[in-house]
Structure 1
Amino acid sequence: MELTQMLGIKYPIFQGAMAQIALSPLVGAVSNAGGLGIIGSGSFSAERLREEIQRTKDITDKPFAVNLMLMMDNIPELIDVLIEEGIKIVTTGAGNPAPYMEKLKAHGIIVIPVVPSVKIAKKMEALGVDAIVAEGTEAGGHVGETTTMALLPQVTSAVSIPVVGAGGIGDGRGIAAAFALGAQGVQVGTRFLTTVECPTHDNFKQAVLDADDTSTTVTGRSIGGPVRSIKNKMIDEYIKLEKNNASRDELEKLSLGSLRKAVYEGNMDEGSVMAGQICGMCNKLTTVEDMITSMFDEAQVVMTKLGQYRIKEKIGN
């Protein structure tokens, strides 16, 4: 089944489940515009998740999903809330959904894990998930090692279920490229940071608007938790500590609460401004609807042009 038919959405675009950002104002706007809005439930209690689901229902009657960070201790409680609230689409990260698959599928819930490698993608297909998000290292936040351009065609060749491409996609050309590599859809995070409906501090949005292609870097590889963010004073200090072989405790002390500082307080020096390498293309504040429709309009133009392109003529054969 095609991805859009499976999910009941107009455009094959997922909004990334960005921690402390993927909340009802953004999620509802994305779903209303024809995409799949996704609530980021990381750090949520069961009651907090229920409140966010209900707030989203007040904004949209279209399908939306919830992302589960499987490293959390209260996943069984969160799943109970999803079932009670009638949520039918779940994306997963930071762990294996195997312990929860039977219960999720028994309630007709579509399960879509985010994966960084072919090996994990194949394991997820064998587990019985419905689709996969293959995310490259260009993405913001927690990342793997393989680039989207290398990862996506390998994953789409390795599995038979629908694949969604993620990481480094910020316009219609990126969507067309993902389709060319075998994806049925895309997941976008960073580009949504510069939308009117995104519930972040204006300073955070401006930092993304001001960024260029070299503005991000990855920290945390030394402790097995790589994260891509826009460079600032806190990130510079973090890198110095890593070079000096600082302990996990020292690094976590520096970064504790840093995402909240950036998202809600607008502290661009001590906050963690998570964003992907595509942020250099995010140079205009738009509404979610304008962003999604313009991206797919551009993608259609690109794919039409490619359909008229003759490679042999270009190389003289």
Structure 2
Amino acid sequence: MEIKPLKLGEREARLPLIQGGMGVGISLGGLAGAVAREGGVGIISTAQIGFREPDFDRDSLGANLRAVKKELDRARAIAPEGVIGFNIMVASRCYEEYVKATVAAGADIIISGAGLPMDLPKAAAEAAREAGRETEPALAPIVSTEKAARVVLRYWDKKYKRMPDLLVVEGPLAGGHLGFTREQLDQFVEPGQAASEEISPAYEEEIRAIFKTVLSFEEKYETRIPVALAGGIDNRERARKAFDLGADAIQVASRFVTTEECDADIRYKEAYIRAGKEDIVIVKSPVGMPGRAIRNRFMERVMGGEKIPHSPCHRCLHTCNPAEIPYCITDALVSAAKGDVENALLFCGAGAWKADRIETVREVIQSLFIGS
């Protein structure tokens, strides 16, 4: 497996590795800085990033926007020359304000999913002008199917006359919210349910179809559009398979949870280490999307139909109706980040049960690349 640098707009990462953005206190400046220092792309999630700010319950948006700059500065202090950016969910309320804040803070790249980031080029360009930046950050949509890739590329082509600087293809073995229906998950994952270790041949064909679509736009624009594969890449063999399929980079998330540098509470990390394969389940989030998480007392209550009381709305997702949801996803994820693991939603990837110890970021990266 040949390891080549990953060029992202004006910046270049020494390793073709992106650390996945894990929301609400998991991917913050500490983890992103550590990954960037080792040569990968460090990613901070904007999802309720300001949950530790003293005014978070009163002014969630203000707390979050303030924390964007704090966390990027923290990552820069760790990796002054590293490539560091943000993951912003399209489903976020005030999406454009998060784009503006990350651009103004000095992000090198914005990765955006949980919906299709159709107008990200406009938002980023306007934010760069307002911030007086000479160059915009690299822009990277997340897609899961060929149809989604085609829709985004065609729209960016027609409306903005530009292509993404990176396309992230997040497969069915990823953690957290998934870009698939439950029926698609059954189609794209080998038998074994939530903790299945392999994508199906059908999803490999979907990946090849995405590459074919990308190639058509590369030819039109006479440029390279790097593609990163994500979901279930947790060892050297899986990394090699991703590159053999044609990927320019890999995106890895769950492996970084059980590192010393991860920003999560130690009890969150230990929940991964304790989990068995049978504990990985597909759950329905309050906003209707399927997701992958670790079974715990909280999930048993939710899956049993219990409606769990929640705090006043923190205005996280624009599709959420507080009067109808069975539980508040912000409350559940904040509890996870703070270590109250039995009363929390513990998002994870399909292979999270394999974690058996706390490692360093460097050890994880070596396990993915060195000796290959």
TM class, shorter-length? 0.7 to 0.9
Q: Which residue of 2 aligns with 1:314?
A: none
Counterparts of residues 29-108 of structure 1 (less than 5 Å): 29-44=34-49, 45-61=64-80, 62-105=82-125, 107-108=135-136
Q: Which residue of 2 aligns with 1:14?
A: 18
Q: Check conservation: 1:152, 1:183, Cα contact below 8 A.
A: no
Q: Which residue of 2 aligns with 1:132?
A: 167
How far apart in 2 are the matches of 1:153 and 1:196?
Answer: 36
Q: Which residue of 2 aligns with 1:305?
A: none
1:28 aligns with 2:47: no
Q: Which residue of 1 aligns with 2:55?
A: none
Task: State the 1:206 CA deviation.
Answer: 1.2
1:258 to 318, 323, 332: 332
Distance 1:129 1:263, change over 3 A: same
Q: Which amino acid aligns with 2:40?
A: G
How far apart in 2 are the matches of 1:75 and 1:249?
Answer: 22
Matched residue SS, 2:340: coil
Q: Check conservation: 2:30, 2:75, Cα contact below 8 A.
A: yes
Distance 1:256 1:88, change over 3 A: closer
Q: Which residue of 2 aligns with 1:283?
A: 356
Task: State the 1:254 CA deviation.
Answer: 6.4
Once the two structures are superposed, residues 177-198 of structure 1 have per-residue CA deviations (whole angstroms, 9 ceiling, x without a partner) of 1112221111111110111101
Q: Which amino acid aligns with 1:292?
A: I
Q: Check conservation: 1:36, 1:65, Cα contact below 8 A.
A: yes
Once the two structures are superposed, residues 87-109 of structure 1 have per-residue CA deviations (whole angstroms, 9 ceiling, x without a partner) of 23110012332323135257432
Once the two structures are superposed, residues 124-159 of structure 1 have per-residue CA deviations (whole angstroms, 9 ceiling, x without a partner) of 223122221111121111013354551433322331
TM-score, with structure 1 as normaliser: 0.84
Identity of counterpart residues, as a percentage?
Answer: 28
Matched residue SS, 2:30: helix
Q: Which residue of 2 aligns with 1:303?
A: none
Q: Check conservation: 1:152, 1:178, Cα contact below 8 A.
A: no
Distance 1:103 1:238, change over 3 A: closer
Once the two structures are superposed, residues 264-296 of structure 1 have per-residue CA deviations (whole angstroms, 9 ceiling, x without a partner) of 1x2222111111111132222111012102210
Q: Please say which of residues 52-61 and 150-159 is displaced more in the overlay.
A: 150-159
Q: Which residue of 1 aligns with 2:7?
A: 5
Distance 1:205 1:120, change over 3 A: same
How far apart in 2 are the matches of 1:255 and 1:164?
Answer: 28
Matched residue SS, 1:5: strand
Q: Which residue of 2 aligns with 1:215?
A: 279
Unaligned runs of 5+ in 2: 50-63, 129-134, 157-162, 189-198, 216-224, 307-320
Distance 1:3 1:117, change over 3 A: farther
Q: Which residue of 1 aligns with 2:347?
A: 274
Distance 1:144 1:80, change over 3 A: closer
How far apart in 1 are the matches of 2:144 and 2:116?
Answer: 13
Task: State the 1:214 CA deviation.
Answer: 2.7
How far apart in 1 are the matches of 2:333 and 2:153?
Answer: 33
Q: Which residue of 2 aligns with 1:306?
A: none
Distance 1:8 1:273, change over 3 A: same
How far apart in 1 are the matches of 2:33 and 2:148?
Answer: 30
1:182 aligns with 2:246: yes
Q: Please say which of residues 84-93 and 153-162 is displaced more in the overlay.
A: 153-162
Q: Check conservation: 1:170, 1:281, Cα contact below 8 A.
A: no
Distance 1:296 1:82, change over 3 A: same
Task: State the 1:47 CA deviation.
Answer: 1.8
Q: Check conservation: 1:230, 1:274, Cα contact below 8 A.
A: yes
Q: Please say which of residues 167-176 and 231-240 is displaced more in the overlay.
A: 231-240
Task: State the 1:110 CA deviation.
Answer: 1.1
Q: Check conservation: 1:214, 1:277, Cα contact below 8 A.
A: no
Q: Which residue of 2 aligns with 1:231?
A: 295
1:144 aligns with 2:155: no
RMSD across aligned positions (CA): 2.3
TM-score, with structure 2 as normaliser: 0.73
Once the two structures are superposed, residues 199-227 of structure 1 have per-residue CA deviations (whole angstroms, 9 ceiling, x without a partner) of 21222111111223332111117953112
Q: Which residue of 2 aligns with 1:155?
A: 210
Q: Check conservation: 1:9, 1:34, Cα contact below 8 A.
A: yes
How far apart in 1 are the matches of 2:335 and 2:106?
Answer: 33
How far apart in 1 are the matches of 2:150 and 2:330?
Answer: 35
How far apart in 1 are the matches of 2:330 and 2:140?
Answer: 29
Distance 1:21 1:223, change over 3 A: closer
Task: State the 1:72 CA deviation.
Answer: 2.3
